[in-house]
Amino acid sequence: MRISVIGTGYVGLVSGVCFAQMGNSVVCVDIDAKKIEELKQGIIPIYEPGLEEMTLENYKNKTLNFTTDATRAIRESKIIFIAVGTPMGEDGSADLKYVLAVAKTIGESIEDYTVIVDKSTVPVGTAEKVRATIQEQLDIRGVDIEFDVVSNPEFLKEGAAIKDFLHPDRVVIGADNEKAMNIMRELYAPFMKHHDRFIAMDIKSAEMTKYAANAMLATKISFINEMSQICERVGADINKVRNGIGSDSRIGYSFIYPGCGYGGSCFPKDVQALAKTAKDFGYSPRILDAVEAVNLDQKYVISNKVIAKHGEDLSTKTFGVWGLSFKPETDDMREASSITIINELTSRGAKVVAYDPKARYEAESFYLKGNDNVSYVDAKYDALKNADALILVTEWQEFRSPDFQKMKELLKEAVFFDGRNQFSKAKMQEYGFEYIQIGVN
């Protein structure tokens, strides 16, 4: 099928490349000419395992192309994916200006029946707005062209995006007629050879499904983080409690890891956007607001522990930080807890020496730019030299089994704040560390 994907951000690029991989003819469109030129040269704007190889291969095979010419791409496509950003507006709602600008271009350009797919995470009711915007343009043109707007929320996880897209747990499609639904069914059939994971529903339910899924996952995280706070105070160990509750299959082990709070491009934004939608429709959500509030506090847990040990004045202290990205296997720093933690420490005069396998550039050039108390190193042990303590923020694999002896020798004091509870306290004490975790005394 001929497809265009408008917006070459995370979701757009991964979707485009994966559809091309399945043999479709895909054009990825972006208004950023530099980005498009670089993609043609094989320069991928984000780090995501497998993405670069697959992009190069499909571009070479001509199943994948890149352009800034949206009009032409739209005219030549049977299916158009809208995958532009929906940044958080000042009031917490998702800003639809980019989505509706694309809808306008679609209305100005289509010539035959086209299926328009909302892939961006958009509030309930957006498909209606997209439809109205396209229709308005068709009316201005004075043409009568059939089209359908479909909702197809994306559930991929950063760091596993290609795998998630090629082997989805489910594909949720919201459509209001069979014709559009069948086209989507055909498009996704190659992705579910062994199991039918296609879930068809009405448009609003599909739009809502995305928010409900992310809100549920964020709730699990804030829940376990709240339990960790209680554990610390009553003298229980959250790691044991997590194991104890996870064994109940109704609860499950996944997504109940305590930590320094969730970050990334989805959970913080989507929880707030859903709360805003609820309020717009006259309902005051209590769980969603609590999930957000717990998460904001959780980002300060590690820095508070550092302050509790080393005092408010950190001007003579240096801390090594392992991991900056909001989670492993990505260079994405959006809403990363490392930003809060590091700024809390440096604002009290501390020096921070940071190491991350992928996110150094993002941190240095954008998210921690201007913070002169932070320096960066390219090897994990270099962050420890003469540091007063090590702080683990992101649980990259290379931090799982470090050389503890070497760490002890490099650190000024063998103090280890672990924001992801990676090790056993007993083992760490055997190695001679003062080991401070989340949710354990």
Using CB under 6 A, list all residues that contact ligand UDX.
Answer: 154-158, 214, 217, 221, 255-257, 259, 262-264, 266-267, 326-327
Question: Which lies closer to ligand UDX via its Cβ, residue 252 or residue 432?
Answer: 252
Do the annotations mark residue 34 as ligand-binding? Answer: no
Question: Which lies closer to ligand UDX via its Cβ, residue 247 or residue 405?
Answer: 247
Q: Is 266 a catalytic residue?
A: yes
Do the annotations mark residue 242 as ligand-binding? Answer: no
Q: What type of residue sits at position 42?
A: G
Do the annotations mark residue 155 as ligand-binding? Answer: yes
Question: Which lies closer to ligand UDX via its Cβ, residue 255 or residue 431?
Answer: 255
Do the annotations mark residue 128 as ligand-binding? Answer: no
Residue 228 Cβ vs ligand UDX, minimum distance, rounded to whole Å: 10
Question: Which lies closer to ligand UDX via its Cβ, residue 321 or residue 414?
Answer: 321
Question: What does the alpha-carbon distance between residue 355 and residue 360 come to, in Å, rounded to a whole number?
Answer: 7
Do the annotations mark residue 30 as ligand-binding? Answer: yes
Q: Burial, 69: exposed, middle or buried (Cβ in 10 Å; 0-12, 13-18, 19+)?
A: exposed
Residue 218 Cβ vs ligand UDX, minimum distance, rounded to whole Å: 8
What are the structure tokens assigned to 98, written together?
């980019």
Question: Which lies closer to ligand UDX via its Cβ, residue 155 or residue 431?
Answer: 155
Do the annotations mark residue 38 as ligand-binding? Answer: no
Residue 414 Cβ vs ligand UDX, minimum distance, rounded to whole Å: 26
Contact 422, 429 (CB under 8 A): no
Residue 262 Cβ vs ligand UDX, minimum distance, rounded to whole Å: 3
Contact 266, 307 (CB under 8 A): no
Contact 46, 332 (CB under 8 A): yes
What are the structure tokens assigned to 186, written together?
């055909």
303-341 b/e with 16+ CB inside 10 Å = b? bebbbeebeeebeebbbbbbbbbbbbbbbbbbbbbbbbb
Residue 108 Cβ vs ligand UDX, minimum distance, rounded to whole Å: 31
Helix axes 126-141, 97-109, angle to 10 degrees: 30
Apex 214 CA angle, 208 and 215, nearest 5 = 85
Contact 133, 97 (CB under 8 A): no
Q: Which residues are annotated as a binding site for NAD(+)?
A: 30, 35, 86, 121, 158, 269, 334
Catalogue the active-site residues: 266
Give the residue numbers of the binding site. Answer: 30, 35, 86, 121, 155-158, 210, 255-259, 263, 269, 327, 334
